[in-house]
C-alpha cells in the first residue's frame, strides 16, 4: 500500500463496475484517502465468445488479480458472482457489502411493456444457468447468445428481433435504467453470490483487511459463503448451469439450489433449512443432496465435455 491512509481501489471499466467501486469507496471512513484505478479485464475484450467456451475461470477477475498481486492496487471490487470459488493464491475476500436484489429479470426491447410467454419467442443470454432454467419453463422458446456490458447488451436487444434478454436485476437497478421495461423473474434461481459486491485484497495485507472488516456485512457474508460452498462442492463455474440462493430466516439459513441439463429437460433441486451453527457445512450438505437426487448424472454430462 502506498501509505496507511490511501487505498487504491481496482475495478473494471464498465459503468456497473465503476458504480460498485464508488459504492465501496463511499463505505470507507472519510479520514481514509482513496483512489479508483480502472483496469481492462479479458472478459471485457472478447465480447463474442460465450463465457462457457472461454475455457478459464475468473475471466472477469484475472486482470485485477494480477494487479493486486503486483501491488498496483490495494483492493479489487467485483460482482461476487464473478469470483471463482478458488481464489488466486495469496488473495482473499475481505468484505462483502449488503446484498442487493438477487433476482434475474427479463428486459424487453425499448418501447415494449408486455411479454407474451406463449409466443414463439427468442430470448437472449450467454448464461447457461439462465438459458437452461428458461428452457425448462418455456421449452418452445429459442435462446440466443448475448455478451457485453449493460449498455452494449441493451443496444443489441433493441437492434435484434429478440423478444427480450435476461439480466441481473441488481445491475438494472444500480444503474437506474429506465429506458427499458423489465419483468422480475422471481421463479428463476440466481447465480451463487448474485447481487453482492465483494472486496478482494492480498491475504498478507493485515492493515487493509482490518480496514475492510468495518464495511463487511455479516448476513451477506454468511449467505454468499454458503452459496459459494454449494458451487465449489459441485465443482461448477460458468460452464455448468448451477444456481443457489441462501437467505437468513428466523435465525436459520434457508438455501435453495439446483442444477439443470443444457436443454432444461432434466434438473435436480433442493430446498433446505440449516441452523446458523451449520453455516460452514450447509453448502456442502445441500450440494450432496442435489447429487443424490439426480444431479450426479447431469453433472457427469458436463464433465465429459469440459
In a domain, 190, yes or no: no
* Alpha-carbon gap, residue 61 to 78, rounded angstroms: 7
Instruction: Tell me what pLDDT residue 148 has.
Output: 87
State if pTM tops 0.85. Answer: yes
Average pLDDT over residues 68-79: 95
Which helix (H) or strand (E) segment holds residue 9: the answer is strand 6-11
Among candidate residues 65, 82, 104, 205, the one labeled active-site is 82
CB 244 within 8 Å of CB 230: yes
222 and 212 in a common domain? no
Pairing status of strand 33-38 against strand 6-11: parallel
Pair 67, 203 in one domain: yes
Strands 182-185 and 33-38: unpaired
Q: Are residues 231 and 154 in the same domain?
A: no
Tell me: do 109 and 180 sit in the same domain. Answer: yes
For the chain, the farthest-separated pair of C-alpha atoms sits apart, in whole angstroms, at 60
Q: How many structural domains compose the chain?
A: 3
Does one domain contain both 93 and 12?
Answer: yes
- 84-118: per-residue pLDDT in tens? 999 999 999 999 999 999 999 999 999 999 999 88
DSSP summary character for residue 161: S
| Active site annotation includes 271 | no
Q: Does 204 lie in the same domain as 83?
A: yes
**CA dihedral angle for residue 297, residue 299, residue 300, residue 303, rounded to 10 degrees:** 170
Q: Are 87 and 200 found together in one domain?
A: yes
**What is the CATH number for 180?**
3.40.190.10
Residues 83 and 136 in one domain: no
Contact 230, 269 (CB under 8 A): no
Domain enclosing residue 177, as ranges: 104-185
d(C-alpha 206, C-alpha 304), whole Å: 42
Mean pLDDT across 142-161: 94
Cα 106 from Cα 22, distance rounded (Å): 27
**Which tens digits make up the pLDDT trace of 202-247?**
999 999 999 999 999 999 999 999 999 999 999 866 678 999 999 9
Measured in whole angstroms, how far is the alpha carbon of residue 144 from the centre of its chain? 20
- 123 inside domain: yes
Q: Which of 167, 185, 203 delimits the end of a domain?
A: 185
**Does one domain contain both 248 and 281?**
yes
CATH of the domain at 268: 3.30.160.40
Indicate if 245 and 302 belong to the same structural domain. yes
Query: Cα(first)–Cα(last) distance of the chain, in Å?
Result: 39
Amino acid at each position: 500500500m502506498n501509505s496507511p491512509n490511501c487505498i487504491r481501489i481496482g475495478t473494471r471499466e464498465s459503468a456497473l463496475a465503476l458504480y460498485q467501486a464508488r459504492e465501496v469507496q463511499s463505505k470507507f471512513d472519510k479520514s481514509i484517502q482513496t483512489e479508483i484505478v480502472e483496469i481492462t479485464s479479458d472478459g471485457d475484450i472478447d465480447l463474442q465468445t460465450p463465457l462457457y467456451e472461454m475455457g478459464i475461470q475468473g475471466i472477469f477477475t484475472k486482470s485485477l488479480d494480477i494487479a493486486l498481486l503486483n501491488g498496483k492496487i490495494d483492493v479489487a471490487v467485483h460482482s461476487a458472482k464473478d469470483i471463482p470459488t478458488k481464489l488466486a493464491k495469496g488473495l482473499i475476500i475481505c468484505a462483502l457489502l449488503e446484498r442487493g436484489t438477487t433476482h434475474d429479470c427479463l428486459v424487453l426491447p425499448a418501447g415494449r411493456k408486455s411479454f407474451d410467454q406463449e409466443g414463439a419467442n427468442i430470448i437472449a443470454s450467454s448464461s447457461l444457468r439462465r438459458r437452461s432454467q428458461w428452457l425448462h419453463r418455456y421449452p418452445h422458446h429459442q435462446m440466443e447468445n448475448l455478451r457485453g456490458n449493460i449498455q452494449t447488451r441493451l443496444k443489441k436487444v433493441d437492434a435484434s428481433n429478440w423478444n427480450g434478454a435476461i439480466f441481473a436485476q441488481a445491475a438494472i437497478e444500480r444503474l437506474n435504467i429506465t429506458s427499458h421495461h423489465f419483468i422480475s423473474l422471481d421463479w428463476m434461481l440466481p447465480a451463487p453470490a448474485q447481487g453482492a459486491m465483494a472486496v478482494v485484497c492480498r491475504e498478507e495485507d493485515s492493515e487493509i483487511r482490518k480496514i475492510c472488516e468495518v464495511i463487511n456485512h455479516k448476513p451477506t457474508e454468511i449467505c454468499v459463503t454458503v452459496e459459494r460452498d454449494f458451487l465449489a462442492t459441485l465443482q461448477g463455474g460458468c460452464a455448468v448451469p448451477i444456481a443457489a440462493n441462501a437467505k437468513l430466516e428466523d435465525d436459520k439459513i434457508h438455501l435453495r439450489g439446483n442444477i439443470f441439463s443444457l436443454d432444461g429437460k432434466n434438473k435436480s433441486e433442493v430446498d433446505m433449512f440449516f441452523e446458523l451453527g451449520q453455516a460452514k457445512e450447509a453448502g456442502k450438505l445441500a450440494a450432496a443432496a442435489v447429487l443424490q437426487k439426480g444431479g450426479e448424472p447431469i453433472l457427469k454430462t458436463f464433465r465429459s465435455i469440459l
